[in-house]
A and B are shown apart, each in its own frame.
Chain A
Amino acid sequence: MENLTEVLQLFLSIDNFIAIALGVVIGVTVGSIPGLTATMAVALALPFTFSMQPVAAILLLVGIYKGGMYGGSITAILIRTPGSPASACTLLDGYPMAQQGNAKKALKAALFSSVIADFISNIALIFFAAYLAKIALNFGAPEFFWLICFSLTIIISLASGSMVKGLLAALLGILLSLVGLDSVFGSQRLTFGNYNLMDSISFIPLLIGLFAIPEIIEFYRKKVIPHIKAKASGVGMTLAELKRCMKSIVRGSLIGVIIGAIPGTGATAAAFISYSDARRRSPNKANFGKGEVEGVAAAEAGNNGVAGATLIPLLSLGIPGDVITAIILGAFMVHGLTPGPIMFQENLSLIYALFLGIMFSSLILLVVGNAAIKYFSLIADIPKSILFPIVLMFCVYGAYAVNNMTFDIWLMLAFGVVGYLFNRTGIPAAPFLIGFILGPMFEDNLRRSLLISNGDMSIFVRGPITWFFIAITFGSIAFAVFRFFKDRNTKLNADKLTNET
């Protein structure tokens, strides 16, 4: 009881509420500007938290993190420019929806699924942190390796249309991910002596180039204004649609929670895994990639599910799973707190006050997000001839801002041409991105496993987690092959029937 009073005393302070609200507003704003990521905003806000109370300080940073995670989807949906890497997957269906005049619906779907996923993630953090942290510790390099293998089989389900083109795109993604320094020997690979490439190809310029630039090229090539069916801001998401997407949102959130609890995977991978899982199970499979509201919901559930869960290894083990949680760890330390098992013994009231604040941040996200949609969705109504030059300016700025490097602008423009060629030849961009994101993780964990075991291959079958992932990886491949032949037979039979009649 005494504890409860202390918790409430720590939590019920006006500073905390201001910190959360301010954090979410900053996060949504920064997240929606291409090139400005939540990571940067959190790092920049850090010095301001030095003089604040610890709970308010951490909540400000967590608010920015969560707001940024959602904010990235706004420009992804409206102008096909992902505000952050994690929202790259959202644009696959979000942008087509905006083009069909359903911008508002897409934005609302993204917001609702973000908030629900965020809530589920927070619940997982509060009630299952200790248990999930234990799983995370059992997740070594070989377990990671099989998780990545399973995730790579996603390419099969995302290679809509032509399997050959899908695999080609994925291989190209993997090839480009090899550029940079070798993780074991530090030697340069495919950098052609250019020091700008030593840290590998920067992800945000690649994303902006691949998605935003081809739209602009296409617009000026055709010199016609695309036909917009309805007033672009359109209507919001209906309750029936939300209900239909609910299963995907919950599953996506859980995927996000698991991925978030394991240090080092990240929200971008979670979004793609959730998206492909939803596509595989949905009765509207064919509509994915063409403006399916469930696709937007699944992608956003995946990346927001990560947000609360990344705090699990941070708070319970003192391990930061990504850069943002590393900065938050720094904020804890500045206030004389050391996350980890000891903090649960020594500062329990503070942790519970934080938990209350984190739960509250989901609510604030809903309010701030709704207000943002109201104004942002008007962007979809701006004539393209005015909008595109502004978008191009943002593209250039966004590509430059990540590393303050002019080289990244050229890189972005080069990927713009690649993206345009992809569009013209019907090569899908999603498998390319998955190859680029998962390729290095595949390689690093393969090599790491073999380094740990001194070359002994049995490390790859060392325990129940590896067996589980081996089973679902091969199961996934077998299912895809089975479906491929089934579809072909159905098609052959249908052709036969048509010929006979």
Chain B
Amino acid sequence: MKKFVSATCIAACSSALLLAASVSTVNAADWPTGDVRLVVPYAPGGTTDVLSRRVADLLKDALDTNVIVENRPGAGSTVGTGRLARGGRDADHTLLMASPGHTIGAAIYPDLAYDPVEDFVFIQNIIDIPNVMVVPASSPYQTVVEFIEAAQDKNMAFSHSGVGSSIHMSGELFKTLTGSQMTAVPFAGSGAALPALLGGDVDVSFENMPTVYSHIKSGDLRALAVTSAERSPYLPEVPTLSEIGEHNLDQFVTTAWFGLIAHNSFPEEGYEAMQTALDEVMERQEFLDFAEQLGAQPGQVEGEEFKQFVIDDLARWEEVAQQAGISQ
């Protein structure tokens, strides 16, 4: 009897081992093993959502599996991101579309239940959208320097799409670096903020490129500068803030970046499969056309470089949040 029990034990153990080995073989050769979830930490309809749905659509072909977009909005992007950070059984097939909200959210709410860097794997930066410093057509300021000089004596109102948005934080960063007198005027989204800018109720804004591009082209708004490191191919005549070279603006480089991240338990083979798939997606003409429509450029960094980029972004916004008094 004893023999039988031990034989059964050995058989059971060895079959379990075999099973485990076969599972890992399947994983290594073939990720994904099921549907992939792409969490959007914002409500449907925003830039993050539209971009995610476009990317999910293209990823579906590249990965040859369903990519299901799931909106988990709330408290900036911290509710959806917090859920991903908790992991769970689907964590090996769940991605999240991170954006400046990931770092700005962490800068504004220091008591978050997750670590914005250590709890995640950073897969790839997909797209960078520059912000544009725009003034109404009726504004007397033709250059950034003229604007800054006027803002030393006169208080300027800048519109933004909500506390902690990249538009808001860019304004605060500009204020801190140049020592300008500026008041932030919040609106519920860029759509509501635009009329105030077009109508001249506010003096300036640091809007996302796609929101203001057509208004710049039609002459209703004047672009004074773009916030990216290099000039945008869509507005080649408009200087970058960093090239102005005065009033500490050489440090001013920000973009609205979007990239895919996952829980830090995300499997190595998934990470590799994702990078291959994303390389394919980002070369597709549909993707490049979409990026062009957003006035955006395909992302530049992946893996460790992407992680370092997020660490630097976080450090910068923490400082701005503290100086602007918007830290909780």
A21-29, A40-48, A288-296 - interface stretch: A40-48
Closest 8 A-B residue pairs measured CB to CB? A43-B44, A186-B163, A198-B75, A264-B192, A330-B50, A340-B214, A320-B191, A323-B45
Question: Which residues of chain A are near B155, meaning CB under 8 Å?
Answer: 454
A44 in contact with B44 given A181-B163, A195-B75, A336-B289 (CB within 8 Å)? yes
Question: Which residues of chain B are near A138, meaning CB under 8 Å?
Answer: 199
A410-418, A444-452, A488-496 - interface stretch: A444-452
Question: Which residues of chain B are near A339, meaning CB under 8 Å?
Answer: 214
The reply to whether A333 and B44 form a contact with Cβ atoms under 8 Å apart is no
The reply to whether B199 and A323 form a contact with Cβ atoms under 8 Å apart is no
Q: A198 vs B192: C-alpha distance in the bound complex, in angstroms?
A: 21
Q: What are 14 A-B residue pairs whose CB atoms fall within 8 Å in the complex?
A: A39-B44, A43-B45, A46-B50, A137-B195, A137-B198, A195-B74, A317-B195, A318-B194, A319-B191, A319-B194, A327-B44, A338-B293, A340-B218, A405-B79
Question: Separation in Å of the A51 CB from the closest CB of chain B?
Answer: 9
Chain B residues 283 to 303 lying within 8 A of chain A, measured CB to CB, are 286, 289-290, 293-294
Besides A46-B50, A137-B198, A340-B218, 14 more A-B contacts (Cβ < 8 Å) are: A39-B43, A39-B44, A42-B44, A137-B199, A183-B186, A184-B186, A185-B326, A196-B79, A318-B194, A318-B215, A340-B215, A343-B214, A404-B70, A405-B74
Residue of B nearest to A133 (CB): B195
A179 contacts partner chain B, Cβ-Cβ < 8 Å:
no
The reply to whether B293 and A186 form a contact with Cβ atoms under 8 Å apart is no
Chain A residues 124 to 151 lying within 8 A of chain B, measured CB to CB, are 136-141
A461 contacts partner chain B, Cβ-Cβ < 8 Å:
no
Q: Which of A182, A195, A324, A342 contacts B45 (CB 8 A)?
A: A324
A321 contacts partner chain B, Cβ-Cβ < 8 Å:
yes
Question: Which residues of chain A are near B237, meaning CB under 8 Å?
Answer: none
Residue of B nearest to A345 (CB): B218
Residue of B nearest to A333 (CB): B293
A334 contacts partner chain B, Cβ-Cβ < 8 Å:
yes
A334 in contact with B290 given A139-B195, A405-B74 (CB within 8 Å)? yes
The reply to whether B214 and A141 form a contact with Cβ atoms under 8 Å apart is no
Question: Which residues of chain A are near B220, meaning CB under 8 Å?
Answer: 341
Contact with A along B194-207 (1 / 0, CB 8 A): 11101101100000
Q: Which of A137, A334, A340, A404 contacts B72 (CB 8 A)?
A: A404
Q: A198 vs B78: C-alpha distance in the bound complex, in angstroms?
A: 10
Q: A322 vs B45: C-alpha distance in the bound complex, in angstroms?
A: 10
B318 contacts partner chain A, Cβ-Cβ < 8 Å:
no
A43 in contact with B75 given A320-B191, A326-B189, A342-B214 (CB within 8 Å)? no
The reply to whether A404 and B71 form a contact with Cβ atoms under 8 Å apart is yes
Contact with B along A368-411 (1 / 0, CB 8 A): 00000000000000000000000000000000000111000000
Residue of A nearest to B196 (CB): A140
Question: Which residues of chain A are near B157, meaning CB under 8 Å?
Answer: 451-452, 454
Question: Which residues of chain B are near A321, meaning CB under 8 Å?
Answer: 191
B108 contacts partner chain A, Cβ-Cβ < 8 Å:
yes
B25 contacts partner chain A, Cβ-Cβ < 8 Å:
no
A499 contacts partner chain B, Cβ-Cβ < 8 Å:
no
B184 contacts partner chain A, Cβ-Cβ < 8 Å:
yes
B217 contacts partner chain A, Cβ-Cβ < 8 Å:
yes
The reply to whether B213 and A323 form a contact with Cβ atoms under 8 Å apart is no
Contact with A along B158-197 (1 / 0, CB 8 A): 0000111000000000000000000111111101101110
Question: Separation in Å of the A319 CB from the closest CB of chain B?
Answer: 5
A50 in contact with B54 given A323-B43, A330-B45 (CB within 8 Å)? yes
Question: Separation in Å of the B156 CB from the closest CB of chain A?
Answer: 10
Question: Separation in Å of the B54 CB from the closest CB of chain A?
Answer: 7
A241 contacts partner chain B, Cβ-Cβ < 8 Å:
no
Q: Which of A136, A198, A333 contacts B74 (CB 8 A)?
A: A198
Q: A441 vs B210: C-alpha distance in the bound complex, in angstroms?
A: 26
A199 in contact with B74 given A187-B328, A264-B192, A327-B44 (CB within 8 Å)? yes
Question: Separation in Å of the B237 CB from the closest CB of chain A?
Answer: 18
B56 contacts partner chain A, Cβ-Cβ < 8 Å:
yes
The reply to whether A47 and B201 form a contact with Cβ atoms under 8 Å apart is no
Question: Which residues of chain A are near B108, meaning CB under 8 Å?
Answer: 186
The reply to whether A327 and B188 form a contact with Cβ atoms under 8 Å apart is no
Question: Which residues of chain B are near A184, meaning CB under 8 Å?
Answer: 163, 184, 186
Question: Which residues of chain A are near B50, meaning CB under 8 Å?
Answer: 46, 327, 330, 334
B267 contacts partner chain A, Cβ-Cβ < 8 Å:
no
Q: Which of B163, B183, B294 contacts A451 (CB 8 A)?
A: B183
A263 in contact with B195 given A186-B164, A330-B50, A334-B293 (CB within 8 Å)? yes
Question: Separation in Å of the A11 CB from the closest CB of chain B?
Answer: 24
A403 in contact with B194 given A451-B185, A454-B155, A454-B183 (CB within 8 Å)? no
Question: Separation in Å of the B225 CB from the closest CB of chain A?
Answer: 21
A199 in contact with B214 given A43-B44, A333-B294, A454-B183 (CB within 8 Å)? no
Question: Separation in Å of the A298 CB from the closest CB of chain B?
Answer: 27
Question: Which residues of chain B are near A341, meaning CB under 8 Å?
Answer: 214, 218, 220
Contact with A along B53-71 (1 / 0, CB 8 A): 1101100000000000011
Residue of A nearest to B325 (CB): A185
Question: Separation in Å of the B86 CB from the closest CB of chain A?
Answer: 13
Q: Which of A39, A140, A195 contacts B199 (CB 8 A)?
A: A140
A444 in contact with B214 given A140-B199, A186-B108, A319-B191 (CB within 8 Å)? no
A233 contacts partner chain B, Cβ-Cβ < 8 Å:
no
Question: Which residues of chain B are near A140, meaning CB under 8 Å?
Answer: 195-196, 199, 201
Contact with A along B126-148 (1 / 0, CB 8 A): 00000000000000000000000
Question: Which residues of chain A are near B57, meaning CB under 8 Å?
Answer: 47, 50
Question: Which residues of chain A are near B289, meaning CB under 8 Å?
Answer: 336
Chain B residues 199 to 256 lying within 8 A of chain A, measured CB to CB, are 199, 201-202, 210, 213-215, 217-218, 220
Question: Which residues of chain B are near A141, meaning CB under 8 Å?
Answer: 196, 201
A188 contacts partner chain B, Cβ-Cβ < 8 Å:
yes
Residue of B nearest to A193 (CB): B111
Q: A336 vs B285: C-alpha distance in the bound complex, in angstroms?
A: 13
Question: Which residues of chain A are near B286, meaning CB under 8 Å?
Answer: 50
Residue of B nearest to A323 (CB): B45
The reply to whether B74 and A196 form a contact with Cβ atoms under 8 Å apart is yes
Question: Which residues of chain A are near B217, meaning CB under 8 Å?
Answer: 342
Q: A455 vs B223: C-alpha distance in the bound complex, in angstroms?
A: 28
The reply to whether A333 and B210 form a contact with Cβ atoms under 8 Å apart is yes
- Most A Cβ at <10 Å: residue of B45, B189, B217: B45
A47 in contact with B71 given A39-B44, A333-B293, A340-B214 (CB within 8 Å)? no
The reply to whether B44 and A323 form a contact with Cβ atoms under 8 Å apart is yes
Q: A405 vs B79: C-alpha distance in the bound complex, in angstroms?
A: 10
The reply to whether B191 and A326 form a contact with Cβ atoms under 8 Å apart is yes
Residue of A nearest to B52 (CB): A47
The reply to whether A185 and B163 form a contact with Cβ atoms under 8 Å apart is yes
The reply to whether B328 and A188 form a contact with Cβ atoms under 8 Å apart is yes
Q: A169 vs B46: C-alpha distance in the bound complex, in angstroms?
A: 34
Question: Separation in Å of the B174 CB from the closest CB of chain A?
Answer: 17
Q: A188 vs B50: C-alpha distance in the bound complex, in angstroms?
A: 29
Q: A205 vs B241: C-alpha distance in the bound complex, in angstroms?
A: 45
Question: Which residues of chain A are near B162, meaning CB under 8 Å?
Answer: 183
Residue of B nearest to A41 (CB): B44
Q: Which of A188, A199, A263, A338 contacts B73 (CB 8 A)?
A: A199
Question: Which residues of chain B are near A342, meaning CB under 8 Å?
Answer: 214, 217-218
Q: A198 vs B198: C-alpha distance in the bound complex, in angstroms?
A: 31
Question: Separation in Å of the A338 CB from the closest CB of chain B?
Answer: 4
B92 contacts partner chain A, Cβ-Cβ < 8 Å:
no
The reply to whether B185 and A452 form a contact with Cβ atoms under 8 Å apart is yes
